[in-house]
Structure 1
Amino acid sequence: MLERPYLFIDGQWLAAQSGEHFDVFDPSDASLLARVAAAGRADVDLAVRAARRAFDAGDWPRLGGRQRAAVLRRIADGIRARQDELALLEVRDNGKPLPEAQWDIADAAGCFDFYADLAAGLDDDERAVPLGDARFRASVVREPVGVAAAVIPWNYPLLMAAWKVAPALAAGCAMVLKPSELTPLSALELAGIANDAGLPPGVLNVLPGLGSEAGAALVEHPGVDKIAFTGSLPTGSRIMQAAAREVKNISLELGGKSPFIVFADSDIEAAVEWIMFGIFWNQGQVCSATSRVLVERALYPDLLQRLSEEAQKIRIGNGLEDGVLLGPLVSAGQHAKVSAAIAQGIADGARLVCGGKPPAGLEQGWFMQPTVFADVPLDCALWREEIFGPVVCVNPFDSEADALHLANDSEFGLAAAVMSADLERCERLARRLQAGIVWINCSQPTFSELPWGGVKRSGIGRELGEWGLDNYLETKQITRYESRESWAWYLKPGC
């Protein structure tokens, strides 16, 4: 068992003031993996005050962008130097297969490199704005928003931390990061890596703890200027209400029920590959998972057969075993939620094509077979609600207009995908799909350079790319009067 008895506050490893801890379990066998210090309200206050001092009186916000970039690059190098160790930790903490964890760690390092480049560009960020009055000269600058609170989910523990920490540090903010209580271990390692990279004390504080205690205290703290959250719609709604009381800057990346439209002229093997990648990657625990598949009726029976055949071939097991491409769900609670959604889908009349139960021989862990439903009623929870598991719903459509209507008929709008040999049709649909992200002839590719976020109830704001940096910057105009003539509104010359 791993012992993580400390929080990271103001550049120091400190015990929780209450002395309390919580347990973290290995989802592959439900064994106790780690005992972790549990931050409470007093610890949150200590961390926010440290971040406040670092921002208000420290050097970090006032350093040049190139100087901050150098630290971010050292953080990226520190992650790469420990890639194998961090990937192993992520597998044991989250359950994902090792190749996925290795991909995530490499992406996290790349994210810090990307924002290092953007940080360096802030040194030359001031922009002159032409005015219609020659007596004035104006420019616009961007400045860090202040102390940022980041609350991240359990599905990509280190990568989700990087998506928030890297742009916040690049902008010059100070941050308090609360990882999920289900997967806190790699965020604590990130704190140590950042400290070794020379990040000043108080600029990054990491507080593992329960959402109801540490998370609530953090988003409600008056010393926080900005809240960045990724997670469920209900929690995001509560955070939005808390932020409204003091009109805090927020960005929210919430749920999804993303559609994947497949036309009959698509290559069936390519379609099956991308459908499986879109829903079985990370055990379906992906906010953008393309969990609603719409297939043109002429292709529908053949695609269903091939999808069922290939889904049943996926090797399930401990993510550290060779060849495993589907690990366990993250927790007993998540396993129960997915199991209940499957049972309800069957009760509501959806046709179970394959899967739908834990695999034989893996009863100790929180495993679920890749599950395919067909002919799903459009008004049932299975079709409309986010499941966050390896469960895909497949329905037919008859026309492009039909497909577009079915795809957009959702309260969510995070992502969508369309597949066809007719690229003109794909481009046409891409502009009519109500989603912040649209993939053509693929599903789920994600790049640090591109914006990430949704419309409707999938959230507010964008992460990644230059838009992710904007989350942590405020825009300021600076206008000066340059004329030698007196303004002479109240004080008239000669009076």
Structure 2
Amino acid sequence: MFEKSTKIIFIDGKWKEVDDGKGVAVYNPATLEPITEVADGGSRVTEEAIQAASKAFPGWSELTGRERSRILYKAYELMSEDAERLGEILTTEQGKPLKEGIGEVKGAANFLLWYSEEASRGYGEWIPSSIKSKRMLVIPQPVGVVGAITPWNFPSSMITRKIGPALAAGCTVVLKPAPETPLSAIEIVKIFERAGMPEGVINLVTGDAQEIGNAMLKSKEVRLLTFTGSTAVGKYLMQESAEHVKKLSLELGGHAPSVVFEDADIDKATSLVLASKFRNNGQTCICTNRLYVHESIADQFTAMLTEKVSQLKIGSGFEEGVELGPLINEQASEKVHSHLRDAVGKGAQVVLGGAEWEGNLEGYFYKPTVLTDISDDMLIMNEETFDPIIPVQTFSDETEVLQKANDTDYGLAAYIFTENTNRAIRASEKLEYGIVGVNDVFPAVAEAPFGGIKQSGNGKEGGHYGMEEFLEMKFVSIGIG
């Protein structure tokens, strides 16, 4: 599927080898076998990419929205047609089950479809004047060069969710994918190349994350940074971007609570909680991290959830029926162990799992785990978890559980399970999160805004709000005689 080495970057419409010839190995997380090598780009290469994007900006931004739309729509078509092959690449470098990988690619293509339509809808405003001799206009204009830094857990959809609206708005892009999953990014750039994207509009640099990121921060030409990743890195980007007062769009960490009320449909709620927690092996920023179940249904709910979790199949993402692939790396595995040790040491009971999977693969696999007797002081109730452990805590009072759900610096996503409409609306309004799912654990769609509050970031991705991040509103005041 892959060449032995793909030590190339994409700058100004050309695939180029990095001069020093160094490469960064990409591994299959299920087997820990090397797949290929990609270019080890650094600050010099990044600056070259920024200059190419800057040079291309006037021509791209001056096209009509409809002209940009045609290229985005062609890229959508090409990506959709090639979804199975792209899904195989994604699964190979990221580890998630192939069905999930193909689904992610199709979802990623949908962002290109949505923003191909939004490209023609960058509306401004005519402001009624209070002065007879004055006319006032608000004109939306693209920000300029965008630095896009994407994560490994969704290596296709996180790219199109960022560069789709940026390109639709008229911005040019320098893309830096996660070092663990650069191959999906390479294929997406090739799709845009085939779709007829002008030279320099999209540029790709792989390699050292800190060196590439710092080059983006130091450059005056990069007017906006869009980043998905940890809150710690997001804070660093905020500090360092102050020198040039860059715009920032940050989708950071999450610690999502799921609250199951006593009137919930237990069968439906257990299935949805399972789908939320164990999608991508728990390695998602919006998956259920803390599960609160009303005490009157806790035993029944936990028993049913545990039975469903016990049926999850672990293994290579290419194996038929596999629902849980590997953790991404050793660091992720160590975090699982630390969370489990801490919880058990503070009194948690392991109902299911609680150990590494002893299969025939070398990757970092962990059994899906259900814990009960959970206390608020446990790490797993306070730190973002990227693993297949679900802690079940009981509650008796609605006000109390919503306070617990809000008692965190994170504010990305939260979930409610109830059949009571009044409660659903009341709790949704009280939860301090940018996204609330009511009997729904898959809120991320192209047409709706996605983003957190508090220390889970700022800005929105998706919907017409997503394109607004990449636009500046210019006020034009006209005096008339």
TM exceeding 0.5: yes
Q: Measure how far apart 1:445 and its partner are.
A: 3.0
Question: In the alignment, is residue 293 of structure 1 matched against residue 291 of structure 2?
Answer: yes
Q: What's 2:14 paired with?
A: 12
Once the two structures are TM-superposed, the CA of residue 218 in structure 1 deviates from its matched residue by 2.3
User: What's the TM-score, normalizing by structure 2?
Assistant: 0.98
Structure 2 counterpart of 1:487? none
Aligned to 2:273: 275
1:210 alignment counterpart: 208
Tell me the distance in 2 between the aligned counterparts of 1:327 and 1:121: 40
Q: CA deviation at 1:281?
A: 0.4
Equivalent pair of 2:257/2:291 in contact (CA under 8 Å): yes
Given that residues 29 and 327 in structure 2 are in contact (C-alpha distance below 8 angstroms), is that contact kept between their aligned partners in structure 1? yes
Pick which of 335-344 and 103-112 moved more. Answer: 335-344
Q: Are 2:352 and 2:371, in contact at CA under 8 Å, matched by a contact in 1?
A: yes
Secondary structure of 2:414's counterpart equals strand
How far 1:339 sits from its partner (Å)? Answer: 2.4
- 1:434 corresponds, among 432, 435, 440, to 432
Q: Where does residue 249 of structure 2 map in the other structure?
A: 251
Paired with 1:52 and 1:117, the residues of 2 have a C-alpha distance of 25
Structure 2 counterpart of 1:112, which letter? Answer: L
Is the CA contact 1:66–1:121 (under 8 Å) kept in the aligned structure 2?
no
Q: 1:30: which partner in 2?
A: 32
Kindly indicate whether the alpha-carbon contact (under 8 Å) linking 2:29 and 2:328 is maintained by their aligned counterparts in 1: yes
Contact residue 180 and residue 210 of structure 1 kept, 8 A: no
Aligned length in residues = 479
CA distance in 2, matches of 1:84, 1:393: 35
Q: Secondary structure at the match of 1:180?
A: coil
Q: CA deviation at 1:251?
A: 0.9
Q: 1:144 aligns with which of 135, 142, 145?
A: 142
**Is the Cα–Cα contact under 8 Å of residues 316 and 324 in structure 1 kept in the other structure?**
yes
Match of 2:57 among 52, 55, 58: 55
Q: Structure 1 residue 18: deviation in Å?
A: 2.8
Give the unaligned 5+ runs of structure 2: none
**1:352 alignment partner, one of 320, 328, 350:** 350
CA–CA distance in structure 2, aligned partners of residues 475 and 445 of structure 1: 29
Unmatched tracts of structure 1, length 5 or more: 484-495
Match for 1:45: what amino acid? E
Amino acid at match of 2:110: G
1:21 aligns with 2:23: yes
Query: Could you say which residue in structure 2 is the equivalent of 1:491?
Result: none
Check whether the contact 2:129–2:135 (CA below 8 A) recurs between aligned residues: yes
Contact 2:410 2:453 in 1 (8 A): yes
Bigger Cα displacement from structure 2, 168-177 vs 211-220 = 211-220
Please give the alpha-carbon distance, in whole angstroms, between the structure 1 residues aligned to 2:204 and 2:371: 41
Superposition map of 1:197-236 within 5 A: 197-236=195-234
Alignment pair present for 1:304 and 2:306:
no
Instruction: Say which is worse superposed, 206-215 or 460-469, in terms of deviation.
Output: 206-215
Q: 2:456 pairs with 439, 455, 458, which one?
A: 458
Question: What CA distance in whole angstroms lies between the structure 2 residues aligned with 1:119 and 1:277?
Answer: 34
Distance (Å, rounded) in 2 between the aligned partners of 1:217 and 1:312: 47
- Greater shift, 353-362 or 155-164, is seen at 353-362
Deviation at 1:363, TM superposition (A): 4.9
Asked which structure has the greater CA Rg, the reply is 1
2-side partners of 1:161 and 1:38: how far apart?
A: 20
Structure 2 residue matching 1:292: 3-state secondary structure: strand
Q: How does 1:396-411 map to 2 (within 5 A)?
A: 396-411=394-409
Give 1:205 deviation, angstroms.
Answer: 0.4
The 3-state SS of whatever aligns with 2:364 is coil
Residue 96 of structure 2 corresponds to 96
CA–CA distance in structure 2, aligned partners of residues 347 and 206 of structure 1 = 46
Aligned to 1:238: 236
Name the residue aligned to 2:75. Answer: 75
- Aligned-CA RMSD value: 1.2
Deviation at 1:212, TM superposition (A): 2.0
In 2: Cα distance, 1:11 partner to 1:469 partner: 24
TM-score, length-normalised on structure 1? 0.95
Q: 139-148 vs 369-378, which deviates more?
A: 369-378
* Aligned 8 A contact 2:30 2:361 in 1: no
By how many angstroms is 1:481 displaced? 0.7
Quick one: which of 422, 435, 439 aligns to 2:420? 422
Q: CA deviation at 1:115?
A: 0.3
Deviation track 1:360-409 (CA, whole Å, cap 9, x = no partner) reads 22451111111112222202211110121112111011111111111111
Distance in 2 separating the partners of 1:23 and 1:332? 16
CA contact (8 A) 2:315 2:361 kept: no
Residues in 1 aligned to 2:154 and 2:170: alpha-carbon distance in whole angstroms: 24
Q: Which residue of 1 aligns with 2:121?
A: 121
Distance 2:263 2:135 in 1: 58
The one-letter amino acid paired with 2:245 is V
1:251-289: per-residue Cα shift (whole Å, max 9, x none)?
111001011110111121111101111110011111011
Mapped partners of 1:23, 1:348: distance in 2? 40
Give matches, 1:361-376, under 5 Å. 361-376=359-374
The aligned residue for residue 108 of structure 2 is 108
The counterpart of 1:393, out of the listed 391, 396, 399, is 391
User: Offset at 1:424?
Assistant: 1.1
Task: Judge conservation of contact 2:230–2:253 (CA < 8 Å) in 1.
Answer: yes
Equivalent position SS for 2:222:
coil
Q: Which amino acid is the alignment partner of residue 53 of structure 2?
A: A
Q: How many Å apart are 1:352 and its aligned residue?
A: 1.9
Partner Cα distance (2:354, 2:461) in 1: 34
1:172-191 correspondence runs (5 A): 172-191=170-189
Secondary structure of residue in 1 paired with 2:27: strand
Distance 2:452 2:114 in 1: 22
* Structure 1 pair 422–370 and aligned structure 2 pair: CA distance change class (3 A): same
1 CA distance for matches of 2:326 and 2:468?
36
2:92 partner amino acid: R
Looking at structure 2, the residues matched to 327 and 361 of structure 1 have their Cα atoms a distance apart, in angstroms, of: 12
Give the distance between the partners of 1:101 and 1:130, measured in 2 at CA.
50
Q: Can you list the C-alpha shifts for 1:7-42, whole angstroms capped at 9, x where unaligned? A: 011100111233211111101111111111111111
Shift in CA distance, 345/18, structure 1 to aligned 2, threshold 3 Å = farther
Q: Distance in 2 between matches of 1:478 and 1:214?
A: 37
Displacement over 6 Å in runs of 4+ = none
- Give the SS at the match of 2:197: coil
Aligned to 2:316: 318
Compare 64-73 and 365-374 and name the one that shifted more. Answer: 365-374
Cα separation, 2, equivalents of 1:294 and 1:469: 36
